[in-house]
Structures are given as structure tokens and as C-alpha cells.
């Protein structure tokens, strides 16, 4: 099986490329050339976030290094064209989204405190961009229970956007409530927010639960944007 590329170590390679180009203030230089905030450039250099492939490709071009080396660590900084991937990343780059050893209860809630990363799922950059999801803000949990049938089934993977935490009536979210994590539909009715299940046959969730959206009661962890499910 072919090795799936990852962006691990991007910040160190970016620093190396900037040093080789004799850039004295790489943060300011990156911010200027990518038209981004200096704080974002600092995050690239300090391994807080990794840029989208298009931005990394642009950096590789102006730094004079192979895109495949800079973004994925393929080959070496001195690789000649054709020795590592060097085409525009829109064609073949994969963006890594972490999968955690965690579940979001579609029936009973699930405790996920200090959940560890167990793997990754890879998406095309354009797919995430089209849905306005940043890779560094995405996480994947698994569904436990069937109270969200037919939308979600036990064992489905759900990608949720951790920056999308302002609830919209009728959308599905991963929430933390009473110390446990759930995947539920949020509805706004009678001047209140309610946790709702799609499966009316589930006895535990036959009635919706009234909640207060706040860190102290019902904390929204993120909106569900993608579901991975098996076909029967």
C-alpha cells in the first residue's frame, strides 16, 4: 500500500527554507508574501497550524524549494524537479484530519476526557474549502447508539468543525452536556435551546431535553459537517 503523505514537521522545514534564503524575519516575510496576519504566520512557524496546500505551494515557489519537500517532507530540499511531487497541490494533495479515541453518544452520552488521537482521515483541500472547514479546526469522533437514525448510525464517523460553535436551529452538533458528549440536533423553540434526536422510537430520547448553551451547561464542541457511513 502506498504511504499516505502527512504534513508532520512542516514548521521545521519552513524555518530551514527561510534560513537558507537568508530571511532575517521569517514571520513578517511570510505574512507579507501570503497577505496574512503576522499572528497566523507565527502559527505556521511554531507548529500551531499548517497552511492550506495552496499557500504552502506559493511559499515553496518563492522560497525556491520543492513543494513536496516543504509540505510533506518528501525527498530533500535540494531535490530536482520531478524527483518529488511539485505540481500544484489542488491536483493531488491530501489534508490530514485527526481521528480521536472518542465517541459522541447518539443515545447515552459518552465521557471523552483526555481522548487520544488514534489515526487520521484524509480529505482533498478543495472539499474542505468548499464547505469552509479549516483542517486544523476539524476533528473526527465516532457515533455510539442509534437515537439519531436515520441520519446517523452506530459506528459512523462524524467530522465536526470546532470553530462552528454558535448554534443554528435544526443543525447537528457534537455537544458536551452533564459531563458527557453527545451528537444531537439543536432546535430553538419557545425561547430556549433543546437537544433533540431524530429517532422518535428511542425511548431515552423520545422527548427533547431543554439546555442552556454555555460552558457550564451545554457546551457546543462543533457542528457536524461530514459523515462517514457504510452502505447496507
Residues 99-120: tens digit of each pLDDT: 887 767 665 556 666 677 888 8
* Prediction pTM value: 0.60
| Residue 49 placed within a domain | yes
Helices (H) and strands (E) in the chain, counts: 6, 9
Helix, strand, or coil here: 44?
helix
Residue 24 reports pLDDT greater than 90? yes
CATH label of the domain that carries residue 61: 1.10.260.40
CATH label of the domain that carries residue 174: 2.10.109.10
64 and 102, same domain (yes or no): no
Decide the pairing of beta strands 157-161 and 138-144: antiparallel
Average pLDDT score over the chain = 84
Distance CA 228, CA 159 (A): 8
Q: Percentage of the chain with pLDDT > 90?
A: 45
| Residue 85 placed within a domain | no
Query: Per-residue pLDDT averaged across 126-144, rounded?
Result: 87
DSSP string across 169-211: TT-EEEEEETTEEEEEEEEEETTEEEEE-S-TT-GGGSS-EEE
| Number of independent structural domains in the chain | 2
180 and 215, same domain (yes or no): yes
Distance CA 222, CA 226 (A): 12
Task: State the residue range of the domain holding 143.
Answer: 95-228
Residue 85 reports pLDDT greater than 90? no
Beta bridge partners of 140: 99, 159
Amino acid at each position: 500500500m502506498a504511504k499516505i503523505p502527512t504534513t508532520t514537521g512542516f514548521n521545521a522545514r519552513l524555518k530551514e527554507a527561510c534560513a537558507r534564503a537568508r530571511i532575517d524575519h521569517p514571520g513578517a516575510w511570510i505574512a507579507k508574501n501570503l497577505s496574512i496576519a503576522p499572528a497566523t504566520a507565527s502559527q505556521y512557524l511554531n507548529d500551531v497550524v499548517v497552511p492550506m496546500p495552496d499557500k504552502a505551494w506559493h511559499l515553496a515557489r518563492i522560497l525556491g524549494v520543492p513543494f513536496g519537500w516543504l509540505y510533506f517532507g518528501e525527498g530533500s530540499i535540494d531535490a530536482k524537479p520531478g524527483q518529488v511531487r511539485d505540481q500544484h497541490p489542488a491536483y493531488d494533495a491530501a489534508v490530514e484530519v485527526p481521528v480521536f479515541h472518542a465517541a459522541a453518544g447518539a443515545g447515552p452520552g459518552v465521557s471523552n476526557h483526555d481522548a487520544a488521537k488514534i489515526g487520521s482521515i484524509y480529505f482533498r483541500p478543495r472539499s474542505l474549502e468548499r464547505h469552509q472547514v479549516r483542517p486544523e479546526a476539524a476533528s473526527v469522533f465516532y457515533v455510539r447508539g442509534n437515537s439519531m437514525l436515520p441520519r446517523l448510525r452506530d459506528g459512523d464517523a462524524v467530522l465536526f468543525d470546532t470553530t462552528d460553535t454558535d448554534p443554528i436551529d435544526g443543525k447537528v452538533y457534537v455537544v458536551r452536556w452533564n459531563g458527557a458528549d453527545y451528537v444531537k440536533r439543536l432546535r430553538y423553540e419557545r425561547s430556549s435551546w433543546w437537544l433533540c434526536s431524530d429517532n422518535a422510537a428511542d425511548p431515552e430520547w423520545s422527548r427533547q431535553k431543554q439546555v442552556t448553551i454555555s460552558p457550564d451547561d451545554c457546551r457546543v464542541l462543533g457542528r457536524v459537517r461530514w459523515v462517514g457511513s457504510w452502505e447496507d
